[in-house]
Amino acid sequence: MRIIPAIDIIEGKCVRLSKGDYQTMKVYNEDPLEVAKTFEGAGLKFLHLVDLDGAKASHIVNWRVLEKLANKTELIIDFGGGLKSNDDLRIAFECGAKQITGGSVAAKEPKLFESWLLAYGKEKIILGADTLEGKIAVSGWQENTDESIEEFIKNYVAKGIEYVISTDISKDGMLEGPSFKLYEEILKACPSIKLIASGGIVSIEDLIRLKEKGLDGAIIGKAIYEGFIRLEDLGDLFD
């Protein structure tokens, strides 16, 4: 299972939110590159970079941060937040993203998202399937839909999607453990996908359990920043 540390960006700074609420913002470092280099120095290979300003603005905003991290580290970066147009996607890839994550656009503009999947291929496009009480949430988690997460993912599996990041919003940033049952249900319904867990992970034991359940990857944010998980413990156990 791949370990994927997260950097969320607001106004160029490394921050974390709880349950996607911008009012809960906590700044951990004003230099995301310093954070990224710390991850790289610990032997981690991947990075989940989220443009929270972009998610709110509905277009890419913090592309310079992406460009800097891609140019000055060897981390394999997946980038999300505010990618709503072909131009947004072009900028993200030109600035060094190896993959992009689309959630709101996949729910609201499926034809556009499908065109990205066809143009760039399943290795570069990740489906963002974020949920609250089993329903898909969009627009930086500020808007709920009536579509179930399992049907949402199944629909895109039929269209060729392979990578899926799923966050249980009620768990995000709460340090109470991930939604194991959610991931079990998703993998039972869609066994072919490479599922990446996000939200709530607080311990090495959580990661081991996710690995045992067949997750392809796990995104960790606040647990690292708050010291619940030590970087030196990750490289010895996971990819």
The reply to whether 8 belongs to the active site is yes
Rounded to an integer, what distance in angstroms lies between the CA atom of residue 199 and that of residue 191?
21
Q: To 5 degrees, how large is the angle CA 101–CA 166–CA 50? A: 40
H or E segment and range at residue 46: strand 46-51
The reply to whether 51 belongs to the active site is no
Catalytic residue among 53, 130, 172, 206: 130
Catalytic residue among 8, 53, 168, 172: 8
Other beta carbons less than 10 A from residue 23's beta carbon = 6
Other beta carbons less than 10 A from residue 127's beta carbon = 25
Active site residues: 8, 130
